[in-house]
Amino acid sequence: MLHLDAFDIDKSVFVGVKYGMVSGITQLVLKESVIKNENVFALKNAFMPIIIINESIRLKVKQLGLKGITFVSANEYQEDIRGI
Protein backbone atom coordinates (compact mmCIF):
# COMPACT_ATOMS: atom_id res chain seq x y z
CA MET A 1 0.00 0.00 0.00
CA LEU A 2 1.14 3.51 -0.78
CA HIS A 3 2.22 5.53 2.27
CA LEU A 4 2.05 9.32 1.89
CA ASP A 5 3.48 12.02 4.13
CA ALA A 6 0.11 13.80 3.99
CA PHE A 7 -0.25 14.53 7.72
CA ASP A 8 -0.12 18.30 8.23
CA ILE A 9 1.92 18.48 11.43
CA ASP A 10 1.50 22.27 11.69
CA LYS A 11 -2.30 22.34 11.47
CA SER A 12 -3.20 19.03 13.13
CA VAL A 13 -3.55 18.60 16.89
CA PHE A 14 -1.88 15.60 18.54
CA VAL A 15 -0.41 14.50 21.87
CA GLY A 16 3.14 13.85 20.74
CA VAL A 17 5.60 11.71 18.86
CA LYS A 18 6.17 8.11 19.90
CA TYR A 19 8.99 6.11 18.29
CA GLY A 20 9.27 8.77 15.59
CA MET A 21 5.56 8.53 14.77
CA VAL A 22 2.71 10.94 15.53
CA SER A 23 0.35 9.67 18.25
CA GLY A 24 -2.79 10.83 20.00
CA ILE A 25 -4.29 12.67 17.03
CA THR A 26 -7.32 14.70 18.13
CA GLN A 27 -7.60 16.88 15.02
CA LEU A 28 -6.45 15.47 11.68
CA VAL A 29 -5.58 17.86 8.87
CA LEU A 30 -4.26 16.50 5.58
CA LYS A 31 -1.94 18.10 3.01
CA GLU A 32 -4.08 18.19 -0.14
CA SER A 33 -0.99 19.08 -2.20
CA VAL A 34 0.57 15.72 -1.29
CA ILE A 35 -2.59 13.65 -1.81
CA LYS A 36 -3.29 14.93 -5.35
CA ASN A 37 -5.40 12.26 -7.08
CA GLU A 38 -4.60 9.25 -4.90
CA ASN A 39 -7.66 7.08 -4.19
CA VAL A 40 -6.30 4.99 -1.33
CA PHE A 41 -3.23 5.42 0.86
CA ALA A 42 -1.92 5.04 4.38
CA LEU A 43 -0.62 7.96 6.39
CA LYS A 44 3.13 7.85 6.78
CA ASN A 45 4.50 8.47 10.29
CA ALA A 46 1.19 7.81 12.11
CA PHE A 47 1.58 5.56 15.17
CA MET A 48 -1.92 4.11 14.68
CA PRO A 49 -2.55 2.77 11.15
CA ILE A 50 -4.72 5.28 9.29
CA ILE A 51 -6.02 4.40 5.83
CA ILE A 52 -7.38 7.28 3.77
CA ILE A 53 -9.81 6.68 0.87
CA ASN A 54 -11.60 9.11 -1.41
CA GLU A 55 -15.37 9.53 -1.47
CA SER A 56 -15.94 7.45 -4.62
CA ILE A 57 -14.22 4.42 -3.03
CA ARG A 58 -16.27 4.88 0.15
CA LEU A 59 -19.50 4.92 -1.85
CA LYS A 60 -18.49 1.79 -3.80
CA VAL A 61 -17.74 -0.11 -0.57
CA LYS A 62 -21.15 0.93 0.80
CA GLN A 63 -22.88 -0.18 -2.43
CA LEU A 64 -21.21 -3.58 -2.21
CA GLY A 65 -22.52 -4.00 1.33
CA LEU A 66 -19.13 -4.90 2.78
CA LYS A 67 -19.21 -5.36 6.55
CA GLY A 68 -16.65 -4.62 9.28
CA ILE A 69 -15.49 -1.29 7.88
CA THR A 70 -16.01 2.00 9.67
CA PHE A 71 -15.68 5.27 7.79
CA VAL A 72 -14.75 8.48 9.59
CA SER A 73 -14.19 11.75 7.78
CA ALA A 74 -10.76 13.30 8.32
CA ASN A 75 -12.22 16.31 10.11
CA GLU A 76 -14.07 14.02 12.58
CA TYR A 77 -11.17 11.61 13.22
CA GLN A 78 -9.94 11.33 16.82
CA GLU A 79 -7.75 8.75 18.49
CA ASP A 80 -8.46 7.55 21.99
CA ILE A 81 -5.78 9.42 23.90
CA ARG A 82 -6.37 7.79 27.29
CA GLY A 83 -3.11 6.31 28.49
CA ILE A 84 -0.92 8.21 26.04
Average pLDDT over residues 61-75: 92
Q: What are phi and psi of 34, to 5 degrees?
A: -85, -35
The pLDDT score that the predictor gives to residue 73 is 92
Three-class SS of the chain? CCEECCECCCCCEEEEEECCEEEEEEECCECHHHHCCCCEEEECCECCCCEEECHHHHHHHHHHCCCCCCCCCHHHCCCCCCCC
**What pLDDT band is residue 80 in, cutting at 50, 70 and 90?**
confident
Tens of pLDDT along 10-30? 999 999 998 889 999 999 999
Chain mean pLDDT for the chain: 92
Q: Is pLDDT above 90 for 81?
A: no
Which pTM does this prediction carry? 0.85
